[in-house]
Structure 1
Amino acid sequence: MDELRYLRGYGERVMDQVRSLIDSGRLAEMLRDRYSAGHEVRDDKALFEYVVDIKERYMRKAEPLNKVIYDNKLHVVKHALGTHTAISRVHGGRLKAAREIRIATLFRDAPAEFLEMIAVHELAHIKHREHDKSFYQLCTHMSADYHQLEFDLRLYLTQLEIQAKSSKDAT
């Protein structure tokens, strides 16, 4: 298993620091200390309201969202942590787009900051399809510490994978 697959692309110095946290067993503790609070966004209705609230605060002029749901079919790495789609349909001679955001179910139990980060990420895709400079500027406009949250989410996913592997090894 490539235990640092979520951190590919980061420099060797960062990778060494993460390996040190893992080897010393302090990664989970560090994440717990930094992100202890959960959230109350438990169902699809609450998630829709949560994401629309962020959208209204920062992207009032963007197209409205039709659906925001937790999706248990989204798989980390294979697919994504969240998706955004604009499904076009013909309605009486007019083309109408239904905008949907799907967020991986694992965020139901993740710290509140990680849910906010993925919501911001998917909302930014409404305006910017690519992960370019404009995309990340919008992300940091909506969440000032977006880059740190994205990195810490990668650490969180790494820790979840380590815990799953150790649980599997214990049985």
Structure 2
Amino acid sequence: MNALRYLQGYPEQVVEQAQQLLTQQKLGPWLLARYPDAHQIGNDGQLRDYVQSLKNQFLKKSAPLSKVCFDNKLHVINNALGTHSYISKVHGSKIKRVNEIRIASIFKQCPEPFLNMICVHELAHIKEKQHNKAFYQLCQHMMHDYHQVELHLRLYLVQTETHGRLYSA
């Protein structure tokens, strides 16, 4: 497997720098220096509270969340870090829309900014379904350094896939 697949779409210079850090085994120490501590959110209830507080801060008037959880199969099956799904259900003469957010279990042990970035990304899908300009503007509104943290998260995934996890439970 090519771990650098997480960096597809980034400039060649960024990919080359990542490759050098990885080859010299400096990527892990660099990430640990920048993000020394893992978050303390260990279960689905705590994750739901965390996501709900973000939603209440930035998306007060949006549809409620029916489920927020860590998902063991997500990263392996869908090659996704998190998912937002919505289902329309008919209740008598009314249609009810159910929103769910699932976060890959690999992020039970990661720095808080990485978890925040994924949650912000999935929450942004409540308002914007597609990855378009409005979607990324909303992500940046909720997290000003969204794009920088996304790059670091991708570097973390490269490190994790090639040399194992940096943070433990």
Given the two structures, how large is their TM-score scaled by the length of structure 2?
A: 0.93
Aligned residue for 1:120, secondary structure, equals helix
Q: Which stretches of structure 1, 4 residues or longer, exceed 2 Å deviation after superposition?
A: 76-79
CA distance in 2, matches of 1:76, 1:33: 28
Runs of 5+ consecutive residues of structure 1 not aligned to the other structure: 165-171
Deviation digits for residues 94-149 of structure 1, max 9, x if unmatched? 11111110010111111111100000000000000111110000001111110011
Runs of 5+ consecutive residues of structure 2 not aligned to the other structure: 165-169
Deviation digits for residues 22-51 of structure 1, max 9, x if unmatched? 121100000001111211211111111100
Aligned residue for 1:129, secondary structure, equals coil
Q: Which residue of 2 aligns with 1:28?
A: 28
**Does 1:13 find its partner at 2:13?**
yes
Aligned residue for 2:101, secondary structure, equals strand
Change (3 A) 1:43 1:156: same
2:40 aligned partner, one-letter code:
E
Q: Which residue of 1 aligns with 2:140?
A: 140
Identity of aligned residues (%): 51
1:79 Cα deviation (Å)?
2.9
Aligned residue for 1:90, secondary structure, equals strand
Correspondences of 1:20-169 after superposition (within 5 Å)? 20-75=20-75, 78-164=78-164
Change (3 A) 1:90 1:69: same
Given the two structures, how large is their TM-score scaled by the length of structure 1?
A: 0.92
CA distance in 2, matches of 1:100, 1:15: 33
Aligned residue for 1:101, secondary structure, equals strand
1:3 Cα deviation (Å)?
2.7
Aligned length: 164
Q: How well do the aligned residues superpose, as a CA RMSD in angstroms?
A: 1.2
CA distance in 2, matches of 1:89, 1:95: 6
